Amino acid sequence: MLKTIQLSAGEGKHLVSVIATVTADGLVVQVMGGEKSHVGAVVMSLPRPSLSHRDSLSCNSYVLPRLNHKDDELAKPVAEKLAQYYGVPVVVVAGLHVDNASPRDIKLLIDNTNLAVDKLMAELTLPC
């Protein structure tokens, strides 16, 4: 049985939704928003023991950006943060778009993504 949770942050064209599905061995997360949700990048992060700090986790990440998109710049840190936090493989599919986005638009989308991910981490507990 799959467990899914959806959280969001922001409003209007800066609304970001995070939908997470807990699987038997990992987490699948969608980060969508702006004026046009789409598939802009896919990232898989696999946790592993840190090479420099034995008591913490690091991860290896595999990034598939869509041509002419920058969603991987958002998806990779989200996938790595969640993989390190939960200690399970994480796949993030991200797609946020605002037409003619200004630096302020981009900052708001990033900030709202981080807020939504923080809400997710506060609410979602994975089974052992």
> What is the rounded CA–CA span in Å between residue 70 and residue 53?
31
Q: What is the mean pLDDT of residues 101-124?
A: 97
Structure-model confidence comparison of residues 57 and 88, the more confident one: 88
Distance between CA atoms of residues 26 and 89, nearest Å: 5
- Mean pLDDT confidence for 106-123: 97
User: Which residue did the predictor score with more confidence, 119 or 51?
Assistant: 119
* Lookup: tokens for 114: 């981080």
pLDDT value, residue 2: 84
Question: CA-CA-CA-CA torsion for 66, 13, 36, 119, nearest 10 degrees?
Answer: 70
23-45 tens-digit pLDDT: 999 999 999 999 999 999 999 99
Give the confidence band of 51 by pLDDT, cuts at 50, 70, 90: confident
The sign one gets for the Cα dihedral 118, 60, 23, 21 is positive
The HSE-up count of residue 91 (CA atoms within 13 Å, CB side) is 10
Interval 58-90: pLDDT, tens: 999 999 999 999 999 999 999 999 999 999 999
Q: What's the mean per-residue pLDDT of the chain?
A: 95
